Structures are given as C-alpha cells and as structure tokens.
Structure 1
Amino acid sequence: MTAVVGVQPGAGRGRVAAGRWLSRIPYAVLAVYAVVGGVGPLVMDYNPVRVSLEDRLLSPGSPVMSGGIAWFGTDGLGRDVLAQVVYGARTSVIIGVSTVVVSCLIGVTAGIVAGYFRGWPDTVLARGIDILLAFPAILLTIVIAGAFERSVLVVVAALSATPWISFARVTRGISLSVRERPWIDAARVLGVRPVAILLRHILPLTVGPVVALATLEFALVVLAEAGLSFLGIGLPNSAVSWGQTIANGKQYLETAWWISALPGIALSLLIINIGILGDQLTARYGRGHLR
C-alpha cells in the first residue's frame, strides 16, 4: 500500500502570506528613510561647519559638553555623527529625486518622439547616445562636477548626464511598438494631432516600465553622489553628505570606526532596499506591459 503525502493548504497560504510581508519590507525601509530625511532636520539642530574639539572622537552613547548624548558618536571635529546621518539622508533623497526627475523628463521626451516619428529625430538620438556612451559614465560625471564650483545644481547636472539614456531607450522601444497598433492608425485617420497621440496613447503605456527603471536609477544616483562627495568634488562643505562623512572618518578607521561605518551602513541599507524594490517593479511592469 502506497501512502500519498499531500501538502496542506494552510502551509501554502502561510508561505504566500510570508512572501507578501517580506516583499513589503523595502517599502517600510524607504518610508523610514523618507520620514527621517524629511522630519529629522526639522527637530534636530545641526551646523555642519561648527566644531567642538572638546567632544571629538567620542564613542557612540557618550555624553557631550552641551549635556546631550552622542548616540552615534562624534567625528574628528566633534560633530555629531547621528545628525550627519539624518541630514545626509535628506541630501541623498533630494539629489536622487531631482536627478531622476530631470533624467526622466529628458529621456522620456526624447525616446517617445524618436520612436514615434523615427527618421531624423531617431537618428539624432542614436548618434547622441553613441557619443555619450563613448565616455565612461563615472568619468563624464567627475569631469562635469570638477569643472564647476561645488553646488547642488552642479551635482544634479553631472549625475543627469547619462541616466537619461536608459529612459530614452525604454520609451523609444515602447513607442516604436505602439505606433504600429490599430488604435494609433485609427487616431491618425480621425485626424488626431501627433502631440495628442503621444500624450494620450503612448505616454501612459510607459509609466510602469519608467517607474521600475526610476527606482534602479535612484539607487545608482545616490551611490554616485556619495562617491563624488567622498572624492571631494561633490557638495560644498556647508551641505551634509554621507560620502563626506565616510571620507572624514577614513583616517580613524582603527580608533573611531563609527564615523565611517554608521553612514556606510545607512547608505548600504538604502541602496539594497531600493534595488530589491526595483527588481520587484521590473518583474511586474518590465515584461508584458504591452500585451
């Protein structure tokens, strides 16, 4: 006699429920970062250029001369590391969102126009992309950032130099496919203007793939901004960046590890969770969005 072993329905539902909860972790982590970056600077007074040599290199949890507690310790100039992590979160979110928005506007506009009209707009876009791809992206970003005075606008412009290419490629492919669909032909026959066709019939189909791509680009932009600030060619000293804080602590890695380690952990958690969220959105919208 052969025993048939079946899978209990409750166990399957439990695994599905657990998977759903795990998939929501990136949303929760990003919400925490958004709240910390948005609300933290409003309730935490911090001056990035003010030094307190009496409080320099205090370990996490140590009291400071002002009577407070340095929960994340202090750096080589006596500045609170927790405040730098909080203000750095706001800086990363602002620069990341600004860069992605600029890249998205440029790339989506160029992509749908080139894909729909083809001809010389498509040729110009293809040649422009070829020229930009001839230079390594990080090298082009460093050249732009180093050629001008350090500011937020320069950093956003430097970081937007190449990410728009990804948006242009995605939207161009969608536009090339959609322009041959029957409802587009019907719209042309009815005399609908090309601008209206682009805005009403093609642009909405790009939303899902563009959002999925935007999350991945956001992670790359945040990491690139930290790299520029680490090299000293990103934001000015009056602005707080995780890259600057990590760079300030590199000479104290053996004696004051928290200066570089804690901002580095905050940066790593943000990048990892954005990457997971981007993979989820890509799996949802990246395939079959035109079916």
Structure 2
Amino acid sequence: MSVLVDARSGQQVAARRAHATRRWLGRIPYVVLALYAVIGGVGPLLIDYDPVHVSLDDRLLRPGSHLSTGATAWFGTDGVGRDVLAQVVYGARTSVLIGVCTVAVSCLVGVAIGTVAGYFRGWPDMVLARGIDILLAFPAILLTIVIAGAFERSVLVVVVALSATAWISFARVTRSVALSIRERAWVDAARVLGVRPVSILLRHIVPFTAGPVVALATLEFALVVLAEAGLSFLGIGLPNSAVSWGQTIANGKQYLESAWWISALPGIALSLLIINIGILGDQLTARYGRGHLR
C-alpha cells in the first residue's frame, strides 16, 4: 500500500514540475516580444543613424570590425558602409509601428462591420458577405501590391494597402460571435426593454468579441510584419528614407556569398519575431477556443 502511495505522490510531483516547466516556456514569447518593443522604442534614441548616409571606406566590414570613426560595427556593414545593427534596430521600430497601426485599423473596421452584420443580419449581412467574396476573389498579397504600387511610397500607403484585406478576418470572427450572442436571453431582455441597438452592440455584444479578436490580432500582426517586409523587399513598400528589414535583406542579396550578414542578421531578427508571435497566437487561440477563428 505504501508503495502505491509513494508512486502516486511521485507522479504528482512530476506532473507539477512538468506544468511549471510548461508555464515558464509559455512566457518566452512574452519576453521576446517585450524585448523587441523595448529595442524598437528605445534603440533609435541610443543609436545615431542616418539611413541615406554612405561611407564607402567602411563598406562590407565583417561583424565586430572597427569603423573609420573608431566605433565598432557589431553586425558589420552593408555594401555602402551603413551599420547593419542600426538597420536591425530601426527596422524593429518600423515593423512594430506598421504592425500595430495596421492591426488597429483592421480591428476597428472589421469589428464594427462584423458586429453590425451579425446582429442585424438581413441586408447588412448580405452586403458584408458579397463584399468579402469580391475581395477574396483577388489574392490578398496581389491586391496589396497593386495598392502599394499605385501611390508614392510612404508608411501611410503601406498601412492602407495592408489593411485593405486584413479587416476581413476580424469581420468574420466578430460576425460569428454576434450571431451567437444575439440569441442570448439578456440581449432579448434588452430589446424588450427598449434599449437602443447601439447600446446593445457596445454593452452586450462587443465585449464578448474581445477574446477571439485579441487571439486573431496576434496572428494578423505576424502576417502584417511579414507582408511589409515582402513589400519593402520588392521595392514598393517604404521609401528609402525609412529603414525596413525587407530593404536591408534586399540590399544584401547580391552579397550573399561574400557578406552573408547583411541579409542573414535582419532575416534572423524577422524570423524570431514571427515565430514568437505565432507561438503567442497559438496560446491565445487555445485559451479562447478555435471555434470563432475558423
């Protein structure tokens, strides 16, 4: 009997240790994303960098080399002598800024349209469905490229181009939530009491979309950052006066054999950000359920 008790207690201790380990591992994405936020917010204040300034005397220096000014290029320099570390730091700020702005715009538009269509149904729901069908007829990245290429390159144009299709996911999620919540007893009671539809939407429906929307926002943030890097890589994203990981990676593609660090280091920074956002998004999706994200 004592042997069974000892075995059971040993299993419980092992289970608690495994649970504690999973909890600590689950916090890694939060730590990494917080680090990126700090680097993107504080880094540009500590590093003096001019993205259009060139120094041909310092071109293609390996990581850890000394510049002509006496400073150290920890990540090396690119083909025109610009510091790759500074480009990574400034690129983090650009990616975080564009990602937050795009997700915010897409979330506001998508939640507003989705809740209205799901609650009122009828012609608002039909118009939303047909509009989504029209937009989905075009590949999202192709529509983004068309919008970004039709105007002069700027941060505003990139945000608008990326938001043109990103709002669809938010609208579909909030629509499904609104369709479910509108049938609940407290919503029927509010309608019977004569509560205005706007108040019903804001007080009784929109709060229930918070969980699924937050989970979706993390996934969309990763897609937005990756799409922005792709646009900048193609040369139709941000202007040359702005620093982007995509631009830095594109600038180093002709030096892959002799100066791998120009493209590799920004690429690693981009990959780490995307991977950790994806892990965080999976955690939030598992917490709030997958049913509304389909």
TM-score, normalised to structure 1's length? 0.97
Aligned to 1:132: 135
* Residue in 1 that maps onto 2:125: 122
Aligned to 2:256: 253
- What residue is the counterpart of 1:148 in the other structure? 151
Q: How does 1:34-53 map to 2 (within 5 A)?
A: 34-53=37-56
Deviations 1:227-258 (A, max 9, x none): 00000000000000000000000000000000
Query: Deviation of residue 196 (structure 1)?
Result: 0.1
SS in 1 for 2:44: helix
Q: Deviations over 1:80-115 (max 9, x none)?
A: 000000000000000000000000011000000000
Pair 260,288 (structure 1): closer, same or farther in 2 beyond 3 Å: closer
Maintained 8 Å contact 1:104/1:164: yes
| Aligned mates of 2:233, 2:63 — CA distance in 1 | 23
Amino acid at match of 2:54: V
Residue pair 1:212, 1:286 contacting (<8 A) in 2 also: no
Kindly state the Cα deviation for residue 264 of structure 1 after the two structures are TM-superposed.
0.1
Map of 1:163 onto structure 2: 166
TM-superposed CA distance for 1:179, in Å, is 0.6
Greater share of residues in helix: 2
Deviations 1:42-75, CA, capped at 9 Å, x for gaps: 1110000000000000000000011100000000
Q: 1 CA distance for matches of 2:57 and 2:291? A: 61
Match of 1:24 among 10, 27, 30: 27
Cα offset, 1:12, TM superposition: 1.5
Deviation, 1:288, is: 7.5
Q: 2:144 is matched by which residue type in structure 1?
A: T
Residue 108 (str. 1) matches residue 111 (str. 2): yes
C-alpha distance in 2 between matches for 1:35 and 1:271:
17
> Identity over the aligned pairs, expressed in percent?
82
SS of match in other structure, 1:161: helix
The CA distance in 1 between the partners of 2:291 and 2:92, in whole Å, is 35
CA contact (8 A) 1:110 1:125 kept: yes
Report the residue type matching 1:20 in the other structure.
R
SS in 2 for 1:162: helix
Which residue of structure 2 aligns with residue 264 of structure 1?
Answer: 267
Q: Distance in 1 between matches of 2:51 and 2:121?
A: 51
Aligned partners of 2:289 and 2:73: how far apart in 1?
45
Q: What displacement does 1:286 show?
A: 2.6
